[in-house]
């Protein structure tokens, strides 16, 4: 492109990255504020935003929950949370005291009318005292069975619209439904009270730096896009493995499983970012239009076809890094004969001109040997091998690995001549690592997402049609699985890479899972 046509101030991608953005003053009401998410993730993220002077002076937090806590006790719990979980370490006294001035606790049941009437008065008072200008964000951090009640109560008390020309937004935590029907129902409940552009459905994977970098990598570089298609790509593997079991979340997880907990949201979002067409601009709706198009182009897996296109597993007793792990079925909150999958793998095909015939293999599981999230693009092999009669299939194919965590970065593997008198070929890698290239720690996903919600940028949040498109792919799989109980659960030891069936699943296609 000639330089006369390139105006960096108009470059949509650059404009979209929106450096140095700062939100208006506002009040964030966190429903379910006594829960883990608030003290582990939300408030440490807000504190770090305050530390980086990203929050307006009048920013306030109101914790809404059932327990009989005082403002002081709430603040103390939040401070302990920052000290324990903030990436910037223990809270700085002056900064915390300033932040804490805007923090208060509101005791109420989620179904108590009076609690919402008092909340409305309180928010009006905060508008005056702290200059919040009627700007409000409601954060649903409760168990999902409370969402409908809270949404309806906010509507009934006139809290979905702001006074004084301010704005009101609502952030909805996952899980967003447990199948297509329940996700559609939750969307209906939300849209009866809020407009779509007020609704921020959170998927914390989209807040990770490395995930945001997928679009920059693809669309701010000229060399990858031409080869990003069926012509050059053999297949794609998306892995999100965890080396922990379900820990203290057995009660929730046993009702959920790997497909609902990880694949429907996080892995499908990664797939959408890797496979989407270039958007017309880096604008919330343009990006989401392309993501939803690619999700809709995925060929659904019919319930009868689950054995061909999916694998499920559940971990048994084992050990990870020398630490004994008890079986999933013996975890607290888990049924002793549970049929819930703690591992799932899928093969998906995107029926588009770019991707026809290219399998996307997705896998995610708990109690695996390592915590790794990565997307690997495996390219087709060279068509002929010139060197010493070496058959093509003995040379490893080129692979581009986008490493989301840990060891954030991007690696390209290619073949190289080993030094010496023969044509020995060995795989080598070119590595980009965030740590060494930038030398600064990345913000936590929640920092980015909370800031975006305060600014009103929905690009990294999931739109109604995306959530429904993803659930419409998962629901027939869940139905197929429900129709045939797994006969061999538990079928992998904690500390191995999932059930043997997962290897056979790849072997049937003449492929192997990446060793991570």
Q: Which residue is nearest to ligand BG6 (CB)?
A: 261
Q: Is 24 helix (H, G, I), strand (E, B) or coil?
A: coil
Q: CA dist 28 to 133, 344, 415, Å?
A: 13, 36, 53
Is residue 106 among the annotated active site residues? no
| Contact call for residues 375 and 404 (beta carbons, < 8 A) | yes
| DSSP single-letter state for residue 298 | B
Residue closer to ligand BG6 by CB (options 260, 413) is 260
Rg (alpha carbons) of the chain, rounded to whole number: 24
Residue closer to ligand BG6 by CB (options 204, 293) is 204
Give residue 293's Cα distance to chain centre.
19
| Contact call for residues 460 and 452 (beta carbons, < 8 A) | yes
Query: Interaction with ligand BG6 in 340-399: which residues (CB under 6 A)?
Result: 373
Least distance in angstroms from the C-beta of 174 to ligand BG6: 6
Least distance in angstroms from the C-beta of 346 to ligand BG6: 17
Q: CA dist 435 to 5, 89, 242, 372, 396, Å?
A: 34, 19, 22, 17, 28
Q: Should residue 242 be labelled a site residue for ligand BG6 when binding is judged by CB under 6 A?
A: yes
Q: Which residues, other chains included, contact 162 with Cβ-Cβ below 8 Å and sequence gap of 6+?
A: 134, 135, 136, 168
Question: Within a 10 A sphere around the Cβ of 340, how many other Cβ atoms?
Answer: 23
Least distance in angstroms from the C-beta of 473 to ligand BG6: 18
Phi, psi of 433 (to 5 degrees): -125, 130
Residue closer to ligand BG6 by CB (options 261, 468) is 261
Least distance in angstroms from the C-beta of 261 to ligand BG6: 5
Query: Interaction with ligand BG6 in 411-470: which residues (CB under 6 A)?
Result: none
Residue-wise DSSP of 219-284: HS-SSSGGG-STTTEEEEEEEEE-SS--GGGHHHHHTT-HIIIIIIIIIHHHHHHHHPPPPSSSSH
For the chain, how long is the longest CA-to-CA vector? 84
Least distance in angstroms from the C-beta of 390 to ligand BG6: 39
| 156 to 195: interface string for ligand BG6, x by CB under 6 A | ------------------x---------------------
| 122 to 161: interface string for ligand BG6, x by CB under 6 A | ----------------------------------------
Sign of the torsion formed by the C-alpha atoms of 389, 391, 394 and 395: positive
Least distance in angstroms from the C-beta of 214 to ligand BG6: 15
Least distance in angstroms from the C-beta of 244 to ligand BG6: 7
Residue closer to ligand BG6 by CB (options 106, 174) is 174
Residue closer to ligand BG6 by CB (options 203, 290) is 203
Residue closer to ligand BG6 by CB (options 75, 208) is 208
Element (H, E) at 426: strand 425-433
Residue closer to ligand BG6 by CB (options 261, 341) is 261
| Among 106, 204, 235, 266, the one annotated catalytic | 266
Q: How many residues bind ligand BG6 (CB under 6 A)?
A: 4
Q: Take residue 317 and report the two structure tokens written for it.
A: 């007793």
| Contact call for residues 468 and 280 (beta carbons, < 8 A) | no
User: Which positions touch ligand BG6 (CB under 6 A)?
Assistant: 174, 242, 261, 373
The residues assigned a catalytic role are 266
């Amino acid at each position: 492109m000639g330089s006369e046509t390139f105006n960096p101030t108009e470059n949509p991608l650059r404009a979209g990255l929106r450096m140095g953005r700062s939100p208006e003053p506002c009040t964030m009401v966190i429903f379910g504020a006594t829960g883990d998410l608030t003290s582990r993730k939300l408030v440490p993220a807000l504190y770090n935003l305050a530390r980086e002077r990203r929050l307006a002076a009048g920013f306030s937090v109101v914790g809404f929950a059932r327990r009989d806590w005082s403002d002081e006790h709430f603040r103390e719990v939040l401070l302990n949370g920052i000290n324990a979980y903030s990436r910037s370490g223990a809270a700085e006294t002056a900064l915390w005291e300033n932040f804490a001035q805007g923090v208060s606790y509101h005791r109420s049941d989620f179904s108590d009318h009076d609690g919402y009437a008092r909340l409305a008065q309180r928010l009006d008072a905060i508008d005056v005292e702290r200059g919040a200008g009627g700007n409000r964000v409601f954060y649903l951090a409760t168990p999902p069975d409370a969402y409908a009640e809270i949404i309806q109560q906010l509507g009934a008390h006139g809290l979905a619209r702001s006074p004084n020309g301010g704005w009101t937004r609502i952030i909805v935590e996952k899980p967003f439904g447990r199948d297509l029907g329940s996700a559609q129902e939750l969307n209906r409940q939300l849209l009866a009270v809020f407009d779509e552009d007020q609704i921020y459905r959170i998927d914390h994977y989209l807040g990770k730096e490395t995930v945001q970098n997928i679009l920059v990598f693809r669309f701010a570089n000229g060399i990858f896009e031409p080869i990003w298609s069926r012509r050059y790509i053999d297949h794609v593997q998306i892995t999100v493995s965890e080396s922990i079991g379900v820990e203290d979340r057995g009660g929730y997880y046993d009702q959920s499983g790997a497909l609902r907990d990880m694949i429907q949201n996080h892995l499908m979002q990664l797939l959408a970012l890797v496979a989407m067409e270039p958007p017309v601009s880096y604008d919330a709706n343009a990006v989401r239009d392309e993501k939803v198009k690619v999700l809709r182009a995925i060929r659904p897996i019919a319930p009868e076809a689950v054995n061909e296109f999916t694998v499920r597993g559940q971990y048994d007793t084992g050990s990870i890094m020398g630490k004994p792990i008890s079986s999933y079925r013996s975890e607290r909150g888990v049924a002793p004969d549970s049929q819930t999958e703690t591992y799932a793998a899928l093969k998906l095909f995107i029926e588009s001109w770019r991707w026809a015939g290219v399998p996307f293999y997705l896998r995610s599981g708990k109690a695996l040997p390592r915590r790794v999230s990565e997307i690997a693009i495996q390219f087709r092999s060279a068509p002929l091998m010139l060197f010493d009669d070496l058959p093509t299939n003995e040379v490893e194919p080129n692979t581009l690995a986008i490493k989301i965590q840990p060891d954030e970065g991007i690696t390209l593997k290619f073949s190289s001549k080993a030094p010496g008198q023969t044509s020995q070929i060995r795989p080598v890698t070119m590595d980009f690592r965030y740590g060494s290239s930038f030398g600064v720690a990345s913000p936590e996903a929640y920092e980015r997402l909370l800031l975006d919600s305060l600014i009103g940028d929905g690009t990294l949040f999931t739109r109604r049609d995306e959530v429904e498109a993803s659930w419409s792919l998962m629901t027939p799989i869940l139905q197929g699985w429900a129709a045939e109980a797994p006969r061999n659960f538990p079928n992998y030891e904690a500390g191995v890479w999932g059930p043997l069936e997962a290897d056979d699943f790849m072997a049937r296609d003449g492929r192997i899972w990446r060793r991570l």
